[in-house]
Amino acid sequence: MALEGFRGSTSSLLDKELNPKSATSIIDQEVEDVKAYIRALWKRRNTFAPVSRLPPEILSRIFDIVRDRVVSGFSYRPLEWTRVGHVCHQWRQVALNSPCLWAKPALSHKLWTEEMLQRSRMASLTISANFKSTISGRRDSLTASLALATPHASRIKMLELVSEYPSRDSLQNFLSQIPQSMPRLECLIVNYDSIAGINSAEGGLSIVHVLEADRLYRLELTRCAVNWDSQIFGPKLVHLKLVSIPVAARPTALQFLEALSRAPALETIELRDSLPLKRHSGHTSTPSKIFFHNLRCLAMTASNTEADNFFNLVSFPASTVVRLICKGETTAEDQFRDVLAHASGFSSATGSDPGFKIRTLEVQIQYPSNGHLNQFRTFSSVASDIDVALGTAAPNLDLVLQTNERPSRQLVQLFCNAMPLTNLVRLSLRNVTFLSPVALAETFGVLPNLRSVSVFGDFAYNFVLALQEVRPINTASTKAEVIPLYFHSVRSISLSNVTFDDNDLTFEMLQDCLMWRYECGAEIRELKLTECSRLEWDSVELLREIVVNVDWDEIESGFTESECEDDAIWDADSYDDYGAGYYDTDDEADLYGLFW
């Protein structure tokens, strides 16, 4: 065997007169030779393993996946993936000869950052520094790692910097040293979180010296000052997000218009408190209005004036999903008239885009601490409550009008008058308690194609009264003269979280309303009752005598203990000792099979 030579040489030492130190040295050398021989055997053995037959390119790609899963999994050991280089000699060689594998330095470990920057050679880098999620003891290492990455800034492909006030100077120092031209940069995300408001003297972070990034397709800036005349707004820009740009750093309307004109391929735009404060005069060679053919999603938070200015500069296809939070600036009811005029055109056909018809409308009023939110959501499909709750149906327009005054009927009517609701099929109302039955009937009860209405909470009382409102004969059509009712086309209603008691909507009121509409020829054919309090089985059975399809969740709640005990006593009195009920005649008992 191959080891016999080693054994022989070792035994021959006994025949030689050697001092212990020399003998030990010779034996140690032979041990190392044996270990090297064993390693060579293991290496030969590994060549027959199936995984060893994978091409280096495939193996390197697997290492990339392992690294990405560890890094994106918020692991406490972000360098754990480097163990792939400790498995065998082949794997280590593949890892060391894969520059892209080391192109995402672990900035929280300075020594590893330096080593990975060297191993990445000339590969494009991903630099991600999050001072907010890094513990205070690691922030110095993060700052030092950024300094090590500065000489390699020209090969940065993705740069993501998240900071807050204590780390502002370190981050600003890094940004000020990166070159003006970054030819490989594709994604730039700078998020500076500060307790100072956008009107404060503190201007956030500055990246005004970055002038060229021809390959940039994603730009996200929070509380940053940017050079609006630079080429970072380029033809390849697809995603743009600007949040809380300080007032002093905001562009003029002309700068904003020209910056957007250089990025015609935008697909998503998110603007929150970042728009120009003054209206564009229009005296420029730049087109007065930019049309974004590829825009899929527009999200915006702005004042009423800022939003109006933006829509005077920009247009987009009707297929674009628009989410707009518009902040009122005055107490006037018609302050949103111009914004609503723009919103009414979002669904209109433009060129080859056929537009869409509003089939579903959801109106919801919220009362946060900073004002009142009037939310209107329109859908091009007939979306059910479940579809909306699960998000399987996305609104084409999600409009929130924020006011300091309490919601009023005029604001809802202003929206309904501005929007094309002729084809509306389904209506959902939440917390619109300020709408009286007459206002509700006059606002929504005249829609010709409305088939289904969902109501939530105590507002059901006003809605039931509105279902009984009679339209004026002199303004009604020939058909309405026979059935002079509002909501004459409604055939399905849904009541959720409604309490039936004497202080609000009673069961008798609902029963009388359904019966009256049935007698008038405008019957409700489908009634859905969900999570309603103080509603009993017997009462629902009475409703089924009027409505063809009653869908009830069979939850009886809201009753006091004494009421439950009374029902239990009544049920016990209805049966004899053998469990058979009492009946007036033997024929009635025989009908239910009690005699056999």
Hey, is 209 helix, strand or coil? coil
The segment with the largest mean pLDDT, out of 137-146, 377-386, 536-545, is: 536-545
Work out the pLDDT band at 20, boundaries 50, 70, 90.
confident
103-195+204-277 to CATH, choices 3.10.20, 3.90.1720, 1.10.10, 3.80.10: 3.80.10
Q: What single-letter DSSP state applies at residue 251?
A: P
pLDDT in the model for residue 192: 87
pLDDT tens-digit map of 484-543? 889 999 999 999 999 998 778 899 999 999 999 998 889 999 999 999 998 989 999 999
CA geometry: angle 378, 383, 387, nearest 5 deg:
115
pLDDT tens-digit map of 404-459? 877 778 889 899 999 999 999 999 999 888 889 999 999 999 999 999 999 998 88
Per the structure block, which two tokens stand in for 199? 């009107």
Mean pLDDT of 193-207: 62
Who contacts 191 (Cβ-Cβ below 8 Å, separation ≥6)? 161, 162, 163, 220, 221, 222, 223
Determine the Cα–Cα distance for residues 149 and 127; give it in Å rounded to an integer. 8
Torsion sign (Cα): 272, 278, 282, 284: negative
pLDDT in the model for residue 307: 92
Hey, is 575 helix, strand or coil? strand
Contact 454, 494 (CB under 8 A): yes
pLDDT tens-digit map of 338-366? 999 999 888 776 666 677 889 999 999 88
CB atoms within 10 A of CB 31: 12
What b-and-e string marks burial along 108-120, b requiring 16 or more CB atoms within 10 Å of the CB? Answer: bbbebbeebbebb
Percent of the chain with pLDDT over 90: 41
Determine the Cα–Cα distance for residues 476 and 368; give it in Å rounded to an integer. 41
CB atoms within 10 A of CB 429: 24
Torsion sign (Cα): 514, 519, 523, 525: positive
Q: What single-letter DSSP state applies at residue 423?
A: T
Q: How would you classify the pairing of strands 549-552 and 526-530?
A: parallel
CA geometry: angle 167, 168, 171, nearest 5 deg:
90
pLDDT tens-digit map of 141-177? 888 898 899 899 889 999 998 887 667 787 888 888 8
Per the structure block, which two tokens stand in for 142? 């993060």
**C-alpha atoms less than 13 angstroms from C-alpha of 125 in its C-beta half-sphere:** 28
Q: What single-letter DSSP state applies at residue 439?
A: H
Contact 440, 461 (CB under 8 A): no
Contact 267, 241 (CB under 8 A): no
Per the structure block, which two tokens stand in for 283? 């005296």
Mean pLDDT of 79-95: 89
**Whole-number mean pLDDT of the chain?**
83
DSSP secondary structure string, 447-510? -TT--EEEEEGGGHHHHHHHTT-B--GGGS-HHHHHS-BTTTT--EEEEES-B-STTS--HHHH
pLDDT in the model for residue 480: 43
The segment with the largest mean pLDDT, out of 216-220, 244-248, 481-485, 517-521, is: 216-220
CB atoms within 10 A of CB 201: 7
Beta bridge partners of 221: 190, 242
Determine the Cα–Cα distance for residues 157 and 551; give it in Å rounded to an integer. 57
Who contacts 404 (Cβ-Cβ below 8 Å, separation ≥6)? 328, 331, 371, 372
Hey, is 83 helix, strand or coil? helix
3-state DSSP helix/strand/coil % of the chain, to nearest 5: 40, 20, 40
Of 545, 445, 559, 463, the closest CA to residue 505 belongs to 463
Q: How far is CA 159 from CA 89, 191, 417, 561, in A?
A: 33, 11, 47, 63
Mean pLDDT of 364-388: 83
Of 491, 485, 428, the closest CA to residue 455 belongs to 428
Determine the Cα–Cα distance for residues 521 and 323; give it in Å rounded to an integer. 40
**C-alpha atoms less than 13 angstroms from C-alpha of 308 in its C-beta half-sphere:** 16
Would you say residue 93 has pLDDT above 70? Answer: yes
Determine the Cα–Cα distance for residues 15 and 21; give it in Å rounded to an integer. 16
CB atoms within 10 A of CB 442: 18
Contact 495, 517 (CB under 8 A): no
Per the structure block, which two tokens stand in for 367? 């009362």
pLDDT in the model for residue 134: 63
Give, rounded to a whole angstrom, the gap between the first and last alpha carbons of the chain: 97
